[in-house]
Amino acid sequence: MKQDTIVIFDYGSQYTRLISRRLRELSIFCDLVSPSIDESFFKDRNIKGFILSGGPNSVFDKNSPKFPSWIKKKNLPILGICYGMQLLANESKGKVEKTDKREYGNAELTINSNSLIFKNIPKKNNVWMSHGDKIINLPPNFKIIAKTKNSFCAAFEHQNILGVQFHPEVDNTEYGNQILSNFALEICKTSNKWTTKNFIETSLKNIKDQVGNNNVICGISGGVDSSITATLIHKAIGSQLTSIFVDNGLLRKNESEEIMKFLKEGLGLNVLRVDASDVFINKLKDITDPEQKRKIIGKEFINVFEKESKKIKNVSFLAQGTLYSDVVESAIIKDGHQVVIKSHHNVGGLPEKMNLKLLEPLRLLFKDEVREIGKELGINKEILGRHPFPGPGLAIRIMGDVTDYKLNILREADNIFIEEIKKANLYDKIWQAFAVLTNTQSVGVMGDNRTYQKCVAIRAVNSRDAMTADWSDIPYEVLSSVSSRIINEVEGVNRVVYDITSKPPSTIEWE
């Protein structure tokens, strides 16, 4: 039987992925795709409706992403969100106007219809707006179903075509989940039986189909994402997979040994360890720009994998544990014109020309969804609970150039911080914690002597999916013991600061 699906077209909004996330939370299956995708992609799906996401473009821009014309003849329900609504209006001969003033933030929505999209929602409620352009003339036969103080047409409807100017997918829209649920279940009548279990079943089948008789190598860092990727692929194709763990010299204290033990004994994978630390450290010599560091590391990883793959017969695929947050922040989305925040090395850092095809089965999932998949695959709690660690490793936690001396300082400081939060039973309550070696030297006094040494920053955040994060409220006594241990035990450091910024406006990593 074909899988019921809601197709979400991605017009490049930072929030787009949240639409699919909300639907998945409702156990509704959806595909998140580029608007230019060919209809044939869905041959194994039973499409029940379409959602056009928001995006940073204006329908007036010459190169703005277009309406996928093939969906018209399907006569299925369509929901346009923000840019998606303006696209629908434009397509149906309404009028959209460019405005200089953005409407951004909370707004009170007044519902003036009994449309199914607002079923079980109070007539007045709060929504989240984030748009510049707006609709000034409704398309013929469309009717307004809700408004706000600044938008006379905050939602419209015509038969099974609906548009909302606000963002139902963000938490600030009070009844956002209900709106998406009404669209998918009441209007599209899709089924709500999607679970991690059938994600695994579908992935196993897709991996087998995609790989055929070829062999796959999987880049493993020992983190949650790459371990789950390898376990999933191993389950699908067994001995056709060889996992390669590259020690790039940018790992934390004792990490290399621990990872190898876990991969071999814990997961039963066929793993090769390649020590490429000298190559990486040499390539990073004198490099201070974070984007350049990522690109160099990404390129070097691929070089190592390509070299190793030549030693194994018939390798055509490189598997990676790329997640959706990496994809979004690297802005790789085709046609969507997102702004690059960081080119996460395993996405934006890949060289343009590569001999291996990519296999990224977790590419559409968020971290917490991946942990669910891991649980389902039987991966142990200790591994699943490990804090995320970025592919470029400590290189992006050392401000400025990367040297062995700095790496050693950072390893020791980071290890102390983690030991102390584990001792205080905080490790599992914190989403990610680490130390950063800043490029600030500061004056201190130790004994009777003046010192002029390095400043270490410690950072701990709580997050659900890395898209946003709050700094963690670590008790003073824990911070105090971390600070005095780092100063006493790590040579070359005379100052420790705690980072109290959230994401946004900061990012989790310092680079």
- Residues serving a catalytic function are 82, 167, 169
Nearest CB to ligand XMP, comparing residues 226 and 240: 226
Report if residue 386 touches ligand XMP, rule: CB under 6 A.
no
Nearest CB to ligand XMP, comparing residues 182 and 330: 330
Q: What is the distance between the alpha carbons of residues 47 and 13, in angstroms, rounded to a whole number? A: 23
Nearest CB to ligand XMP, comparing residues 264 and 503: 503
Report if residue 465 touches ligand XMP, rule: CB under 6 A.
no
Choose which of 256, 390, 406, 438 interacts with ligand XMP (CB under 6 A): 390
Site string for ligand XMP, 324-363 (x = CB under 6 A): -xx--x------------x-xxx-----------------
User: For residue 271, which phi and psi values (nearest 5 degrees)?
Assistant: -120, 135
User: Under a CB-based contact definition with an 8 Å cutoff, are residues 58 and 47 in contact?
Assistant: no
Q: What is the distance between the alpha carbons of residues 442 and 331, in angstroms, rounded to a whole number? A: 37
**3-class SS at 101?**
coil
Report if residue 508 touches ligand XMP, rule: CB under 6 A.
yes
Enter the tokens of residue 313: 């017969």
Shortest separation between residue 225's beta carbon and ligand XMP, angstroms: 7
Nearest CB to ligand XMP, comparing residues 338 and 346: 346
Report if residue 509 touches ligand XMP, rule: CB under 6 A.
yes
DSSP 237-297: HGGGEEEEEEE-S---TTHHHHHHHIIIIIT---EEEEE-HHHHHHHTTT---HHHHHHHH
Choose which of 107, 162, 466, 496 interacts with ligand XMP (CB under 6 A): 466
Enter the tokens of residue 149: 């103080």
User: Under a CB-based contact definition with an 8 Å cutoff, are residues 79 and 169 in contact?
Assistant: no
Shortest separation between residue 321's beta carbon and ligand XMP, angstroms: 8
CA quadruple 315, 392, 504, 474: dihedral sign = positive
Which amino acid is residue 191, in one-letter code? S
User: Under a CB-based contact definition with an 8 Å cutoff, are residues 54 and 81 in contact?
Assistant: yes
Residues numbered 241 to 300 that lie near ligand XMP (CB under 6 A) are 294
Choose which of 178, 303, 462, 507 interacts with ligand XMP (CB under 6 A): 507
User: Under a CB-based contact definition with an 8 Å cutoff, are residues 325 and 225 in contact?
Assistant: no
Shortest separation between residue 496's beta carbon and ligand XMP, angstroms: 20
Q: Considering only 18-26, 260-268, 410-418, 501-509, which stretch makes contact with ligand XMP by CB under 6 A? A: 501-509
Q: Considering only 25-33, 211-219, 354-362, 384-392, which stretch makes contact with ligand XMP by CB under 6 A? A: 384-392
Distances (CA, A) of 153 to 24, 56, 85, 137: 29, 20, 11, 9
Nearest CB to ligand XMP, comparing residues 346 and 415: 346
Query: Which residues of the shown chain bind ligand XMP in the complex (CB under 6 A)?
Result: 294, 325-326, 329, 342, 344-346, 388, 390-392, 432, 466, 503, 507-509
